[in-house]
Amino acid sequence: KNLSPSTPIRCHRLRCSRRPISPNPTPPHTLKLLLLDRDGVVNADVGSPGVIRPSQLLLTPGAGRAVGRAQRDGCHVVLVTNQSCVGKGIIREDELGEIMAEVQRLLLEEDADASLDAIYACTSVDGSGDPRMKPMPGMVLEACRDFGVEGGECAMVGDTARDMQAAQAGGVESRVLVSTGYGFSLMGDRLPSGKNEFINSGKGMPPELSSSLPFVYTENLASALNWLFGDDADTGTVHASTPKGEASADQNII
């Protein structure tokens, strides 16, 4: 949690491992680690080249409450995000740190328990071969290693095929695609049928998404948490003051 934009964003060479994936996605019995994409999941996607200044950030509905809920249930929450705007020279690493600090501030403003335990960011560009860049599982494997969890103890919530592919390749058994961000268009410009839709057939899907079956399709991060925790409402108490952490540009981006 020691967020410092002066800390270099590291790239580790990791071996990719593939674990058997359950044919029917079910929430983990004990969710220990929640992996979240950023743009389109935690905050609204603004299109290319992505968020390049803090003022562009707007949380998706209920995102802060969802993160706070996970923390109240004893689950670590981390961001796993591609940020090629740095590799392209559009923004600097310190500016990325300021944007990440604003994400944390907005989350805590909505729910004082909504602290992020770590931020994993890959700043490489497409075609670089970086094993940390989604759809490669490098950042997923790093997070699982850092928090000492197995694939059956964590879940990935994303809005792109790359998110689902990275989670699958990293052995994450519970994968959730949200309709915010790119999820809506990937699913044929339609919302989920029902609160949570189990997707087992790739008919009509882009091949990169159908290769990541099965997954759950749901409206947004808040509804994803409802599915992952097995109910439709947060029964925890939202603390409106005394946050666990302060929003700061001194956050450690891994």
The pLDDT of residue 20: 37
The pLDDT of residue 214: 96
**Terminal-residue alpha carbon distance, the chain:** 10
The pLDDT of residue 182: 96
The pLDDT of residue 190: 95
State the catalytic residue, choosing from 39, 45, 117, 163. 39
Residue ranges, the chain, pLDDT below 50: 1-23, 233-244
CA dist 156 → 53, 112, 119, 190 (Å): 26, 23, 14, 21
The pLDDT of residue 230: 84
| Cβ burial 225-240 (10 Å sphere, 16+ → b, else e) | bbbbbeeeebebeeee
The pLDDT of residue 194: 85
Range of the domain at 141: 33-228
Q: Is residue 12 part of a domain?
A: no
Q: Is residue 157 part of a domain?
A: yes
- Dihedral sign computed on CA atoms, order 194, 200, 201, 205: positive
Q: Is residue 249 part of a domain?
A: no
Q: Is residue 246 part of a domain?
A: no
Q: What is the pTM of this model?
A: 0.84
CA angle, 99 as apex, 98 and 102 as ends, to 5°? 90
Residue-wise pLDDT for 165-178, tens only, equals 999 999 999 999 99
The pLDDT of residue 26: 60
The domain that holds 46 is classified in CATH as 3.40.50.1000
The pLDDT of residue 12: 34
Q: Is residue 238 part of a domain?
A: no
Q: Is residue 189 part of a domain?
A: yes
CA dist 7 → 20, 94, 252 (Å): 36, 9, 6
Domain total in the chain: 1
Q: Is 37 a catalytic residue?
A: yes
State the catalytic residue, choosing from 37, 111, 113, 130. 37
